[in-house]
Amino acid sequence: MTETLVVSILVLWVVVLALVVAVFALARQVGILHERVAPMGALMLDTGPKIGTPSPVFTLTDLGGRPVNIGAPALSSTLLFFLSPTCPVCKKLLPILKSTAASERRWLSIVLASDGDEPEQRKFIRRAALEPFPYVLSTDLGLAYHVSKLPYAVLLDERGIVRAKGLVNSREQLESLFTAKDLGVASIQDFVEQRH
């Protein structure tokens, strides 16, 4: 009886030691994977105004009749967010934009930009409750920034300098623009590459 008990305790200790080794091996693999899979910021397409250069300047009127200056010196940074009423990812990001506008209002203003049919855009604004945001329709604005895919965002500082830009599909990618500006880098990918 005691022999069986001793053998079972030895077997249990061997199993526990094997589990400890397995946990350490898995922790090491997770660490290696974490290094390899760098944070994914907004996908910066290398077109349009370069990071660190002055933005094209536009004086537009939003759909509410208010004047909107883009690229000119301002009291706060400007997030220019390109979207479309037919873009499902754009619609998914709208609550995030509203939350960001509220939490970052001390230093950031958000301008929504699109092109296309004005009546359709006005319906979209009402349905999505976007009235508080300046919403401009301008094909020239999209062409100046070389916007080819949506949703796309451009972050301008108070002087009208392009600080970050890219294709954004999630909150993390949107916030990566702010992080890139704070770090003084073109994108999160550039930051990760500089560290290696």
Instruction: Give pLDDT tens digits for 111-162.
Output: 999 998 999 999 999 999 999 999 999 999 999 999 999 999 999 999 999 9
Question: Do 16 and 78 belong together in one domain?
Answer: no
Taking residues 18-42, what's their average pLDDT?
75
pLDDT digits (tens, 9 = 90+) for 127-138: 999 999 999 999
> Which ranges of the chain does DSSP label H, i.e. alpha helix?
2-36, 88-103, 118-128, 139-144, 171-183, 188-195
Query: Does pLDDT of 27 surpass 70?
Result: yes
Structural domain range at position 11: 1-37
pTM strictly above 0.95:
no
Q: Is residue 170 in a domain?
A: yes
Mean pLDDT of the chain: 90
Cis upstream peptide for 132 (omega within 30°):
no
Q: Is residue 43 in a domain?
A: no
Q: Are 42 and 176 contacting, i.e. CB atoms less than 8 angstroms apart?
A: yes
Q: Is residue 116 in a domain?
A: yes
Domain count, the chain: 2
Q: Which among 125, 99, 122, 121 is positioned nearest to 110, based on CA atoms?
A: 99
Q: What pLDDT, on a 0 to 100 scale, did the predictor assign at position 58?
A: 97
* DSSP reduced 3-state for 94: helix
Question: Do 134 and 170 belong together in one domain?
Answer: yes
CATH number at residue 153: 3.40.30.10
Q: Is residue 152 in a domain?
A: yes
Question: Do 66 and 119 belong together in one domain?
Answer: yes
Give the separation between CA 42 and CA 48, rounded to whole angstroms: 15
Question: Do 66 and 102 belong together in one domain?
Answer: yes
